[in-house]
Structure 1
Amino acid sequence: MIELFRTSMEEVFRETFGEAPRECADLPRVEGYMAQIPFEEGEKAYMARVWVEKPALRRLADLLLFDDDPDHETMEDLTAELANFIVGRAKMVASDRALPYRMGTPRYEGLGRLEEAEGTILYDVEGHCIALQIKESHA
């Protein structure tokens, strides 16, 4: 499943940032914007969390919204939308591979530090990280 999301993130990066993503070398130690989106793959339920450093999110706002000085509400909305892009692209990749997959609605979670966790994908955008963490949901 991680491979599915790695493919998804790489495609979103190429289309959104116009460049192939580079992996972040180290886990960032700063606060970032977080959003979560539930999804199911077959019978298993998961939660995807997207974490974005503020400068990377500001760059995304400039690219997508032509807003080089986004307010906090815009940053919140954009974080949830980025989660939707990535998980939605994973849904398309899963569909192309005839894999069962359903996704829920993204929800902004706030500002916070990225915790070390298994299943973390880290990519670099102009020297700042974007992370995706996948964990099984036991709901």
Structure 2
Amino acid sequence: MIDLFRTSLEEVFSQTFGLRPEPCDTPPKEKGYAAQIPFSDGERDYVARVWVEEPALKKMADILLFDDDPDQETLEDLTSELANFIVGHAKMVASDRNLPYRMQTPTFVGTEPLESGGTSLLYKIDGRCIAVEVKENHG
């Protein structure tokens, strides 16, 4: 499952934003913007949480929206949209591999520190971290 998200994140950033994500070795201590989106592989239900540092999110706003000084609402909306991009693209990757996949609507969670120890994928853009964590949803 995590391989779908690795492929998706790398392709979304290269194809949508023209950016090449690199591994982020040190989890940041600052707060970042987080959104989550429920999905299923046909057998189990999961939640993907996307977390991004504000400077990386502002860079994406500049690229995607031509807005180099986005307001708080724009950053929150873009966080949810980024989750939608990544999880939605993972659905396309799953389809290409003939794997079942169903997803729901993303929701903005808030600004919060990155949870330590549970991050499945950690990348950086211009030295700022982006994380995708996938957890089984038990209810």
TM norm structure 2: 0.97
120-129 or 10-19, which moves further after superposition?
A: 10-19
SS state of the match for residue 99, structure 1? coil
Contact 1:2/1:119 (<8 A) preserved: no
- Deviation digits for residues 55-111 of structure 1 (CA, Å, limit 9, x no counterpart): 000000000000000000000000000000000000000000110000000000000
Aligned residue number for residue 85 of structure 1 = 85
Across the aligned residues of Structure 1 and Structure 2, the Cα RMSD in angstroms comes to 0.9
TM norm structure 1: 0.97
Runs of 4+ in 1 over 3 A off after TM superposition: none
Aligned residue number for residue 32 of structure 1 = 32
The 5-angstrom pairing of residues 116-135 of structure 1 reads 116-135=116-135
11-20 or 41-50, which moves further after superposition?
A: 11-20
- Unmatched runs of 5 consecutive residues or more in structure 2: none
- Unmatched runs of 5 consecutive residues or more in structure 1: none
Matched, 1:56 2:56: yes
The 5-angstrom pairing of residues 5-20 of structure 1 reads 5-20=5-20
Contact 2:6/2:121 (<8 A) preserved: yes
SS state of the match for residue 67, structure 2? coil
User: How far apart, in 2, do the equivalents of 1:136 and 1:123 lie?
Assistant: 21
Contact 2:24/2:123 (<8 A) preserved: yes
User: How far apart, in 1, do the equivalents of 2:67 and 2:28 lie?
Assistant: 25
Using a 3 Å threshold, how does the CA distance of structure 1 residues 119 and 129 change in structure 2: closer, same or farther? closer
Contact 1:16/1:63 (<8 A) preserved: no
116-125 or 29-38, which moves further after superposition?
A: 116-125
Number of aligned positions between the proteins: 139
Query: Could you tell me the percent identity over the aligned residues?
Result: 63
Contact 1:62/1:68 (<8 A) preserved: yes
